[in-house]
Amino acid sequence: MRKLPRIRFAHLPTPVDSLPRLSAKLGGIHLSVKHDDETGLAFGGNKTRKLEFLIADAQANGARTLITTGAVQSNHCRQTAAAAVRYGFECILVLAGEAQEKPDGNLLLDHLLGVEIVWCSPDRRDETLQAVFDEAWSAGRRPYLIPYGGSNEIGVAAYVEAMREYLSQGDPADTIVFASSSGGTQAGLVLGARLFNYPGRVVGISVDEPEAVLRERVAALAERCAGHLDERHSFSPQEILVQDGYISAGYGNPGAGEREAIDMFAREEGMLLDPVYTGRAAWGLIDLLRNGFFHSGERILFWHTGGTPALFAARYREFLAL
């Protein structure tokens, strides 16, 4: 396996904790958590791992300005902004949505980090991103484009390494469950499972994409990353495990299922989930459990991907109100 350039700034390995109270409450399973909400860098999350590789690649390419895109409450944009500042890059975030008078949650952090923000409507995201890139290029700012979610073959390699890390932390669970969206996290875990012979299931709970779309995306990303690492492995969409039964309210619109999951994790284990990603993934886990998806005594790892700053966005105040 080829060694890729990487700058080590994430707090690794992230801890694995057992969740005995929640396991008892849910009945008959052994649930544990891997805390990628504690990867460091301005409240952490799964993008911190990807950025170790992406920042190294940007440096190797002589870039000076990082450009990326996401939603108003994007965790990816917040972590990219922090990494950019820390390694001396300028940073432009193209956010899909409307400028806010009182920035909160992740957006507040983007402002504190002092990076440039360009607003656009969701349907004009790609063309705005291209225009911002072209302008930065013409102005001699040496821009480097980090794709949505940091999910290209470079970012995905971080979760290949994360799987290696998890397998080195002792007897692994039978099944790994986590929130999946741009697919990079899942692609890395799936490729890592293949390369390091993890025999269990890697189950992505879709946050926003239909199963067929996400399966195809993850398989393609895993295959591209394998090639980038000089490993020849092919992946078919059929072998990618995705559950998309929790997306109907749309991205960033949590409901009763997420609320029950957030409350359960908080009240049984003192552990915080976010309203957009991990709350939805935990809802999926609990619902699948109730529907017999897991066998009795199955050891399940919930891979926490971060996102907790969104708890402090006014948008979710009513949803979280008691």
Query: What residues make contact with ligand PLP under the rule CB under 6 A?
Result: 45-46, 75-76, 149, 151, 179-186, 274, 277-278, 305-307
Token couple for 48: 């911190």
Which residue in 76, 35, 109, 106 sits closest to 265, CA to CA? 35
Name the residue whose CB lies closest to ligand PLP: 307
Strands 175-180 and 143-145: unpaired
Q: Min. distance of Cβ 171 from ligand PLP in angstroms?
A: 25
- Say which residues have a Cβ less than 8 Å from residue 82's Cβ, sequence separation at least 6: 41, 42, 109, 113
Indicate the DSSP class of residue 8: -
CB of 185 to ligand PLP, least distance (A): 3
Q: How far is the CB of 20 from ligand PLP (least distance, A)?
A: 24
User: Is the CB of 45 or the CB of 284 nearer to ligand PLP?
Assistant: 45
3-state secondary structure 270-281: CCCCCCCCHHHH
Give the number of other CB atoms < 10 A from CB of residue 167: 15
Cβ of residue 45: shortest distance to ligand PLP, in angstroms?
5
- Taking the least distance from each CB to ligand PLP, the nearer of 105 and 149 is 149
Q: Which of 193, 201, 199, 203 is nearest to 225 (CA)?
A: 193
Of 136 and 206, nearer to ligand PLP (C-beta) is 206
Active-site residue, 180 included = no
Q: List the catalytic residue out of 74, 151, 181, 182.
A: 74
**Of the two residues 46 and 243, which places its CB atom closer to ligand PLP in the complex?**
46
The residues carrying an active-site annotation are 74
